Amino acid sequence: MKKSNLMTSIAFAFLMLFTFNVDAQEFKGLDKSPMDVAAFPSNYKDSNKIIKIAYSRPQLNNRSVGELVKNGEVWRTGANEAAEITLYKDLMFGNKEIKAGTYTFYVIPGKEEWTAIISTDLNVWGSYSYNEKNDVARLKVPVTEAKESLEAFSIAFNKSDNGINMHLGWGTVRVAVPFKG
């Protein structure tokens, strides 16, 4: 009897060891372009958001913005998955009213102006499957140059006289995308 109890205990121990190894989760390291969220109002404790964008933050790493983002080509506005923008209320984007909801936010960079695009595409990686037919609205916005260079692509919001500006910045490139509501 003692031998069978010992054998049962050993078998149970091996089974548990095998089970724990099978269920062990491997976590990958930090993403080179981590995800971030910018929102307005920017106080994260404020649950009455008007607008929010989730995007990944690529780094320059001794490269220029022009090497990473090509003028005249649709860009996902960040890295990895295309940026997703959520409007919590209807907002004006140029002359077009955008209904509350979640959309993809693309841009087409240019030397003097960028085209900001709100699209019904969702859950897309990159801009490889971008389809202009899914555009809800487009808006051309001027490009400015800053003195300070940003290593990581960044998005921030602020209140303006006419509504809310979504600021895109990377290197010395700055673009302000206006929303009214």
Q: How much is the pLDDT for 8?
A: 62
Q: Of 58, 79, 72, 69, which is closest to residue 115 (Cα–Cα)?
A: 72
Q: How much is the pLDDT for 116?
A: 98
What is the rounded CA–CA span in Å between residue 170 and residue 151? 7
What is the mean pLDDT of the segment spanning 142-162? 95
Whole-number Cα distances in Å, 152 to 23, 64, 125: 36, 12, 19
User: pTM of the full predicted structure?
Assistant: 0.83
pLDDT of residue 2 exceeding 80, the answer is: no
72-109: per-residue pLDDT in tens? 999 999 999 999 999 999 999 999 999 999 999 999 99
pLDDT of residue 161 exceeding 70, the answer is: yes
Q: How much is the pLDDT for 32?
A: 85
Q: How much is the pLDDT for 136?
A: 97
Q: How much is the pLDDT for 162?
A: 87
Question: Would you put residue 106 in left (φ > 0), alpha (ψ -120 to 50) or beta?
Answer: beta
Better pLDDT: 48 or 51: 51
118-135: per-residue pLDDT in tens? 999 999 999 999 999 999
Write the DSSP assignment of 54-75 as a string of letters: EEE--B-TT--HHHHS-TTS-B
Share of the chain above pLDDT 70, in %: 86
What is the rounded CA–CA span in Å between residue 104 and residue 44? 22
42-46, 54-58, 159-163, 168-172: lowest mean pLDDT where? 42-46
Is-contact 140 178, C-beta < 8 A? no
What is the mean pLDDT of the segment spanning 51-72? 95
What is the mean pLDDT of the segment spanning 45-72? 92
Q: How much is the pLDDT for 72?
A: 96
Q: How much is the pLDDT for 97?
A: 97
Is-contact 160 178, C-beta < 8 A? yes
Type of residue at 135: D
Type of residue at 101: G
pLDDT of residue 22 exceeding 70, the answer is: no
